[in-house]
Amino acid sequence: MIGVTDPFTDIRTYADAQLIDRLLDVTRSFKSALVCGAETSHLAQDLLKKHNLDTVFEGEFSDPDGPANGAVSKVNNRIIYDDEWVPFKNEIFDLVISMRALHWVNDLPGALIQLRRCLEPDGLFLASLYGGQTLHELRESLIEAETQLRGGIAPRVSPFVDVRDAGNLLVRAGFALPVADSDTVAREYISLPELFDDLKNMGETNAVRERPHGLATARLFEIAEQIYKERHSTKTGHLKATFEIITLTGWSPSESQQKPLAPGSAKQRLSDALDTEEKLF
Amino acid sequence: MTATNIDPKLLQILVCPVTKGPLEYDKEKQELISKQAGLVFSVRDGIPIMLPDEARKLDDV
């Protein structure tokens, strides 16, 4: 890979670093954690060692015999499950971390509600997923090429959630003190096949099940690459690809957390604090 | 065949993914049974496969 515009050589490493950063910001300690999503082993073992957790459970979505699990985990507490069918008791963990997985879920609100329920009161939820800006250049080029070629389009890039929607979903799922923030990272590729190879290595190929199979011809990708080069190339003539990483933080509601006062319950006037006249409009 | 038993810690946290009801552990067959959902989840090398799509239907007999 050449011309990486970011110090991080891998988008995955970058996304995981963002998550760990959020965790380091938290001063409270945890006892029992669920780490789920993609390539969880590394973080799970890190948590056990550095954060002194009693138990870390590892959740994965794919079959253990499947090709997705390169590294064999040394953590014994592994479960294969689906975020839309969460198999955990209520209020059983005090930390749930979802790594680069929730963009695969069909029913994101449902998944968030289920994950929130398995958190104890005042338990922390952290998640990273790819956001709406991800691969917008590729999407645009493919749509344009396909329109030229066939007069119609097929969904070839998975749909991603917008950062604003993600924040709203956290609220809807009942999380307290919700935060959704996004980071965009640009990378450069020599060619479209190189970009596809990288996506394949990341395990992030098209998740849309209803797409037409066998219709993506070599000609389509040739035209798409041409359009991509015309519209989104860097000074050096490489293809620029954007990745948006959304990091979600939310707490399971608890009496001990700070809350806004009820409207009208103020004991002092804002105008007094600001030393100004109160005007009615 | 040397079957790895499921970690007792896991049994403490797991419920049926469909009904969120209790699971019964069949040590012999390495299976987790949800009577409410009528589904049997297999345990492979100590790892429970809690996917409704891959679960076996509970026999009526």
Give the count of beta carbons closer than 10 Å to the beta carbon of residue A163. 19
pLDDT confidence tier of residue A37, bands split at 50, 70 and 90: confident
Q: What is the DSSP letter of A76?
A: S
B46, part of any domain: yes
> Cβ contact (<8 Å) for A79 and B10?
yes
Could you give the C-alpha distances from B2 to A42, A72, A216, B15, B27, in angstroms and in order? 27, 19, 46, 26, 13
Is the residue at B18 inside a domain? yes
pLDDT, mean over chain A? 82
A62 — pLDDT class (breaks 50, 70, 90): low
Tell whether A123 is covered by a domain: yes
Question: Quick check: A89 pLDDT over 90?
Answer: yes
User: Residue B21 sits in which domain range?
Assistant: 8-60
Q: Could you tell me the pLDDT band of residue A238, with boundaries at 50, 70 and 90?
A: very high
**Res. A199 pLDDT band, cuts 50 70 90:** confident
| pLDDT > 80? residue A27 | yes
Contacts with A65 from chain B: Cβ below 8 Å: 44
Residue B18 has pLDDT above 90, yes or no: yes
- Residue in A65, A82, A88 nearest the CB of B51: A82
- For residue A36, give the CATH number of its domain: 3.40.50.150
Is the Cβ of B55 closer than 8 Å to some Cβ of chain A?
no
Is B3 part of a structural domain of the chain? no
What domain range includes position A201?
A: 2-254
Note whether residue B13 is domain-resident: yes
Mean pLDDT for the stretch of residues A50-61? 77
Distance CA A8, CA A184 (A): 13
In this predicted structure, what is the pLDDT of residue A77?
Answer: 83
Q: Does residue A147 contact residue A49 with C-beta atoms inside 8 Å? A: no
Q: B15 in contact with A at a CB cutoff of 8 Å?
A: yes
pLDDT for A249 equals 94
Which residues of chain A have a CB within 8 Å of the CB of B20?
A: 89-90
Q: What is the pLDDT of residue A211?
A: 55
Beta-sheet strand order (sheet of A93-99): A78-80, A55-60, A32-37, A93-99, A119-130, A239-251, A176-189
B36 interfaces chain A, CB cutoff of 8 Å? no
Judged by CB atoms closer than 8 Å, whether chains meet at B17 and A79 is answered as no
Q: Is the pLDDT of residue A42 over 70?
A: yes
Closest CA to A138 of A229, A257, A42: A229
Residue B54 touches chain A, beta carbons under 8 Å = yes
pLDDT band per the 50, 70, 90 thresholds, residue A9: low
Q: What is the ipTM of this complex?
A: 0.90
pLDDT value for A28: 83
Domain presence at residue B52: yes
**Residue A162 domain-assigned?**
yes
A2-40 b/e (C-beta count within 10 Å ≥ 16 → b): eeeeeeeeebbebbbebbbebbeeeeeebebbbbbbbbb
pLDDT of A171 reads 93
Specify the higher pLDDT residue, A222 or B59: A222
Mean pLDDT for the stretch of residues A4-20: 72
Backbone angles phi, psi at B11, to 5 degrees: -60, -30
Give residue-wise pLDDT tens across range A160-191.
888 888 999 999 999 999 999 999 988 899 99
Phi-psi region of B14 (alpha: psi -120 to 50; beta: other; left: phi over 0): beta
A281 occurs within a structural domain: no
Instruction: Decide if B39 is inside a domain.
Output: yes
Q: Flag whether pLDDT at A74 surpasses 80.
A: no
Are A56 and A75 within 8 A, CB to CB? yes
- Counting the structural domains of chain A, the total is 1
A35-44, A138-147, A259-268: range with highest mean pLDDT: A138-147
Q: Which residue has the tokens 């933080």?
A: A249
Q: In chain B, how many domains are there?
A: 1
With a cut of 90, say whether residue B38 has pLDDT above it: yes
The pLDDT assigned to A65 comes to 45
* Contact call for residues A83 and A101 (beta carbons, < 8 A): yes
Please check whether residue A41 lies inside any domain of the structure. Answer: yes
Query: Does residue B1 sit within a domain?
Result: no
- Indicate whether B2 belongs to any domain: no
User: Does B49 contact A at CB distance below 8 Å?
Assistant: yes
Distance CA A135, CA A242 (A): 5
Using the Cβ of B13 and the Cβ atoms of chain A, whether some distance falls under 8 Å is answered with: yes
Report d(CA A36, CA A99) in Å as an integer.
Answer: 6
- The mean per-residue pLDDT over the stretch B8-15 comes to 90
* CATH label of the domain that carries residue B34: 2.20.25.10
pLDDT in tens, A98-152: 988 888 888 899 999 999 999 999 999 999 999 988 999 998 998 899 888 877 7
| pTM to 2 decimal places | 0.82
pLDDT in the model for residue B20: 94
| Any domain includes A273 | no
Exposure b/e, A49-64, CB count within 10 A at least 16 = b: eebebebbbbbbbeee
DSSP, res A208: -
Tokens 């707490």 correspond to: A251
